[in-house]
Every structure is written in C-alpha cells, then in structure tokens.
Amino acid sequence: MLELIKRCPEYVCGYREYCQEAFDHNIIYFRPTDPKLIDGEWFSRTKNLYDKKETGQIRPISFHFWAVDGEKFIGEFQLRTELTQEVMNGIGSIGYAVRVSEQGKGYGTEILKQGFRIVKEHGMDKVLMNINDENLVSAHICEKLGGKLMDKIQSYNDAEGHHMMRRYWIYL
C-alpha cells in the first residue's frame, strides 16, 4: 500500500535508486537529486536544507515527502504552500514523480490523491500544477483529478529548455 512519508534515513538507498533511474532515462519533467551526490552522509548533510525549506528560511516554503510501498521506494511528492512568482511561472505548487520501473501502475495518481490530503492539512483549498505541454501522462492525471486548465505560457528551465507549459488549478 502506497504511503507518503517524511524523508528518512531508512529509505535513502531506495531514493538513490529512484534518482539513478531518472538520470539513466534522462527524465526532464522532474529532476531529482544527482545520484552521485547521495553517499552515506547525504541525509545528515542535507537535513538542515530541507528543514529551512519547511520553516521558510528558504522560499517558497516547501514540504518534501517520499512515496513508499512497504520496503519499495516508489517516488516523491513536494508541496509548495506559497504562490510566489517562481511557483506561478515555473515550478507550480506540486512536484511529483514515480521511479521509471514503477510507472504505469497507478502510483502517480495515488501520490497525488494522498498528496491532496496533505495540501488540505495545510489549510489550502487549491493548488497550481504546472505541466510541460508535452507531458501528456501528467496532464492526463491532473485532468482526471479535476484540474482546470487556466492557460499555457512559455517557460524555461535548464532540464526542459524553452517549452510551452500548461497551468492547471485544482480546487480541493
């Protein structure tokens, strides 16, 4: 059964495998950590960084969860609770991904469903999902879960380059 959990040392090996799969397959729509950086000290070295993201010392405020199914590492879910310029015109309120070897089994849909519960716990009633116009799988899941297309704008980031991006609101 899929669960969203806080980052924790027990799943670091699984997280590294997930990152490695994303790099091996050149996944551009969501770039996880470079697996080469994930060594034995990586969790303790980065803990402070993630704490700062949650407390707003690094903006936008963001919360990072790992998706696991028993001992298996499945993917991740990120929530940004502020609608900053970067969120509105780039990264959106939600980031999520499923490891390549586990895609197409319903996990992506389930991560978002469970993630929306976390969104509500933060007192939010809507989220913005920004999706590359060519990412048809994510756009399909977003629309299936009630996403309403607001517009399409030009966007840029290092991984995706210049691209058209769909902006969807999901009202919860």
Ligand X SMILES: CC(C)(COP(=O)(O)OP(=O)(O)OC[C@H]1O[C@@H](n2cnc3c(N)ncnc32)[C@H](O)[C@@H]1OP(=O)(O)O)[C@@H](O)C(=O)NCCC(=O)NCCS
**Do 16 and 22 meet the contact criterion of CB atoms below 8 Å apart?**
no
Question: Whole-number minimum distance, CB 27 to ligand X, in Å?
Answer: 5
In the bound state with ligand X, the residue whose beta carbon lies nearer, of 47 and 144, is: 144
Question: Whole-number minimum distance, CB 125 to ligand X, in Å?
Answer: 21
In the bound state with ligand X, the residue whose beta carbon lies nearer, of 89 and 103, is: 103
Question: Whole-number minimum distance, CB 159 to ligand X, in Å?
Answer: 10
Residue 2's alpha-carbon distances to 6, 75, 80, in angstroms, are 13, 10, 21
Please identify the residue of the shown chain whose CB is closest to the bound ligand X.
Answer: 108
Residues forming the site for ligand X (CB under 6 A): 27, 29-30, 96-98, 103-109, 131, 135-138, 140-141, 144
Q: What is the DSSP string of 68-125?
A: EETTEEEEEEEEE-S--HHIIIII-SEEEEE-GGGTTSSHHHHHHHHHHHHHHHTT-S
Question: Whole-number minimum distance, CB 132 to ligand X, in Å?
Answer: 7
